[in-house]
């Protein structure tokens, strides 16, 4: 298996196919549809098309579906993992991503079926296994959630 390097992969956006080559998440826990505006070691913007068919809406809440706040934070983290994957050129490698901390998390607006959430992530610290990001989820330019989060990406055999 190829070693991760600090030479970024030549991508400024990631479609669903590339996302699946970087992170291990799959339905029903894959919360991003694409990532655009990727700047290696700096940040990017994830896109989440929220639909009524998502399994969490069966219980959150059946008569008034609202995307759980924790899934918005997870979607921001998945977006950040794509930025890390591109930055470190770790595509097609068996990587796992682990949350290490979530700080300054706030929820400001509900996200509901039909919304398109933009997940803006900016690297605060990174370059190795452990990265810290600042994230904001927006719908129609309105802030829905924000958080700082720290995560580690490691090869499966490094666990």
Distance in angstroms (rounded) separating the CA atoms of residues 84 and 138: 21
Across 64-111, the runs of DSSP E, i.e. the strands, are 95-107
56 is catalytic: no
Q: List strands edge to edge, sheet with 95-107.
A: 34-39, 43-49, 116-125, 130-139, 142-155, 95-107
Catalytic residue among 25, 56, 60, 120: 60
Q: Are 94 and 46 in contact (CB under 8 A)?
A: no
Q: Are 77 and 149 in contact (CB under 8 A)?
A: yes
Distance in angstroms (rounded) separating the CA atoms of residues 122 and 97: 17
Residues 6+ apart with CB under 8 A from 154: 95, 96, 98, 129
Structure tokens at 151: 């995560």
| Catalytic sites, residue numbers | 60
């Amino acid at each position: 298996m190829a070693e991760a390097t600090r030479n970024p992969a030549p991508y400024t956006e990631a479609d669903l196919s590339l996302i699946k080559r970087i992170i291990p998440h799959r339905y029903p826990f894959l919360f991003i549809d694409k990532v655009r505006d990727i700047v290696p070691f700096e940040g990017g913007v994830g896109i989440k098309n929220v639909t009524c068919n998502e399994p969490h809406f069966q219980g959150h809440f059946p008569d008034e579906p609202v995307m759980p706040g924790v899934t918005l934070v997870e979607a921001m983290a998945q977006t950040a993992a794509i930025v890390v994957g591109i930055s470190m050129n770790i595509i097609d490698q068996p990587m796992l991503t682990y949350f290490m901390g979530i700080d300054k998390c706030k929820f400001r607006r509900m996200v509901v079926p039909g919304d398109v959430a933009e997940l803006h992530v900016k690297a605060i610290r990174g370059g190795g296994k452990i990265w810290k990001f600042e994230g904001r989820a927006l719908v129609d330019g309105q802030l829905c959630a924000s958080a700082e989060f720290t995560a580690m990406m490691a090869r499966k055999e490094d666990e």
